[in-house]
Amino acid sequence: MIFVFADTLKTIVMKKAVIVTFDKFTDIDIFLAWDLLNRVRVRHKDFEVKLVGTADSHISSAGIKLDMHGSIEECNDADLVFFGSGAGARAVVKDQAYLDRFNLDPSRQLICSMCSGALIIAALGHLQGLKATTYPSVFELLKGYGVEVLEDKHLVIQGNIGTAAGCLAAVDLMAWAIEKMYDEKTSQDVIASVLPIGQGQVCMY
């Protein structure tokens, strides 16, 4: 998205991250990614984060109703596309009409997932013949898409695609994605801002 300010003739090209949500998503996956990515906005005003789905709202595995900011078609022009996990991920990969709404391109986008969210990336054809990781309960399902599953790795990077396993692995996944979008300093600042006091915590605000 491009904004032009007439008074200064300054053009700002906005970067956009989208968090793909569906019913029965794993709460921590969505909320942790949402929080970490929004901290980027403290350093970079040219950045926006949106929750996207197929309905006006989606219900988490723990029963929280979460309103969406847009539809999944917004993934197609986003700089970063993040897929969370949960029982809902295993359902949407069986829905061809759902998958057909995506037109992702790893050559120009960062695409990443937590745990079973990797199944969606695989169902879209972007993990064929590549290495990835996911939650142990879906190792075999992911292998069924022709993916080499690294069962002992919490984070696997293949070009512009990152897959992570274990909810707290989102910290390392987001650190990678933020550095790719901006720089190492921004990534370090964001992660340092959520560390425990006495373990390198640095306030961003």
Instruction: List the domain boundaries for the chain.
Output: 2-192
- Per the CB < 8 A criterion, the answer to whether 163 and 139 are in contact is no
Indicate if the alpha-carbon torsion angle 24, 29, 35, 38 is positive or negative: negative
Give 27-76 pLDDT, tens digit per residue.
Answer: 999 999 999 999 999 999 999 999 999 999 999 999 999 999 999 999 99
Q: To the nearest whole percent, how much of the chain has pLDDT over 70?
A: 95
Give Cβ neighbours of residue 204 (< 8 Å, ≥ 6 apart). Answer: 39, 42, 43, 189, 190, 192, 193
**111 SS3 class:** strand
CATH superfamily to which 2-192 belongs: Class I glutamine amidotransferase (GATase) domain (3.40.50.880)
Q: To the nearest whole percent, how much of the chain has pLDDT over 90?
A: 90
For residue 25, give the DSSP letter: B
**Nearest CA among 30, 24, 188 for reference residue 113:** 30
* Range name among 1-15, 46-60, 138-152, 191-205 with the lowest pLDDT average: 1-15
Banded model confidence at residue 11, pLDDT cuts 50, 70, 90: low
Tell me what the pLDDT averaged over the chain comes to. Answer: 94
pLDDT at 90: 96
What is the rounded average pLDDT of the residues 165-183? 97
